[in-house]
Amino acid sequence: MRIAHVSDLHALSPLGVEWRKILFNKRITALANLLLHRARVFRRDYLDAVLAAAARNADHVVVTGDLTNMSLESEYEEAGRMLQAVARTVEVTVVPGNHDVYLPHVQREGRFSRHFSAFFISDLPELAVDVPAGRFPCVRLRGPVAVIGLSSAVPRPPFVSSGHLGRKQLDALARILAHPDVACRTPIVLVHHDPMDSRFRLEQRRSGLTDARALRDALRNVARGLVVFGHVHVRKRSELVTAAGAVQVVSASAAGVDHPSDTVRAGYNLYEIDPEGRVVSQEAWVLDPATLDVKRVLGGFGVCP
């Protein structure tokens, strides 16, 4: 089974900036970032090429959050159109990022669920709990794997982009991992924020996963599997040693970003799992700016410190 891992679409509104919806709230900081940095390096032609290539080359596509920039309705609609195009070819599973639940009213309106619930329909819905972006964890039982989607997306104040899973969701994850239909498969856990963040606690509270240690504890009895994430806009790999074995932890770069480094430039990760559930390969597929082809690149991953 081949799983393509895409992250951080940061879909721009085709209507342009909706000024009345961004002034006098946190979105103004996102706009400043967009104007100063992101609009220059996030390219729609790159994003379209990466999504099309991932759909051609995989049996399942997973998207680890930040589908939008500012949680604007027009951005949700645009990201939805992109994912629907991918879903015509291959199944898609999505989890949210911090940009997808940007403000408290976005959470109250259930905007992420309203637009993307078709991409996180769970095979074990009775084990999901209510969190700011919808009902998670989402579980999809597919051949030798159990794709488990977690939501770390919560509204935050300006200049804060950290995520939080919460005790209810972590307890639900423990019940899911113990479920017989999951225990006999290899878990592929999706989350937006970095579960292996080793920075100082203050930095984790500002831009990391505030309960990363609790997530690692929840995985302590997993013998093998993958945890895949986004948020950091770079491809890197590490390993979480557990009581029963080891779990590979891998991030994807932003799917449409323009950058000279192969570890950052637009692309997707491709994971291959054999019929016995072994993760037999992890590949970086990176866009060639000259041709817009997406090709396998050796050395496309950095190493977590």
- Tell me the pLDDT band of 120, cut-offs 50, 70 and 90: very high
**Confidence class for position 109, pLDDT limits 50, 70, 90:** confident
User: Does 3.60.15.10 match the CATH number of domain 2-303?
Assistant: no
Closest CA to 4 of 294, 219, 234, 260: 294
Tokens 């794997």 sit at which residue?
145
What does the DSSP 8-state code read for residue 23? T
For 119, other C-beta atoms within 10 Å of its C-beta total 22
**What are the pLDDT digits (tens) for 207-218?**
999 999 999 999
Kindly write down the DSSP assignment for every residue of 89-157, as one continuous string: TSEEEEE--GGGS-SHHHHHTTHHHHHHGGGS--SSGGG-EEETTEEE-EEEEETTEEEEE--------
What is the residue extent of each domain of the chain? 2-303
Q: What is the pLDDT of residue 104?
A: 66
Predicted confidence (pLDDT) per residue in 226-282, tens digit: 999 999 999 999 999 999 999 999 999 999 999 999 999 999 999 999 999 999 999
Mean pLDDT of 161-185: 97
Report the pLDDT value the prediction gives residue 20, as an integer from 0 to 100: 47
**Model confidence at 25, in pLDDT bands (50, 70, 90)?**
very low
> Is the Cβ–Cβ distance between 210 and 82 less than 8 Å?
no
